[in-house]
Amino acid sequence: MKPLQISSDILPLSKFKSLASQLLGQMKESQRPIIITQNGTPAAVLISPEDFDRWQERERFLSAIQSGLADVEAGRVISDEELEQELEREFGKSE
């Protein structure tokens, strides 16, 4: 996703309604989000499906990191040797 351009990427809902198809095409081409305002205040952010997927994947990744760091801080970790032994018990000796 490219950075927002204030002069062209923020528009009122009425303008978005009247030019929706054209604006969606422009958004896809420019790869920038569109901010839609209602009564002069931001009401929605429109992004491409690809940008949404990337955002969701990033959030899942960051959540997994935070979970792992919390496990380390709480002492919910095992040594490399313990992990290897557990994997051997579960899946057999690796070659």
Classify residue 80 by its DSSP letter. Answer: H
Mean pLDDT of all residues in 46-53: 93
- What is the identity of the amino acid at 24? L
List the alpha helices (DSSP H) in the chain. Answer: 6-9, 13-30, 49-74, 80-91
Distance, CA of 83 to CA of 80 (rounded, Å): 5
Mean pLDDT of all residues in 59-83: 95
26-46 pLDDT, tens digit per residue, is: 999 999 999 999 999 999 999
Residue keyed to tokens 């935070």: 66
> What residues form DSSP beta bridges with 10?
35
Distance, CA of 69 to CA of 76 (rounded, Å): 10
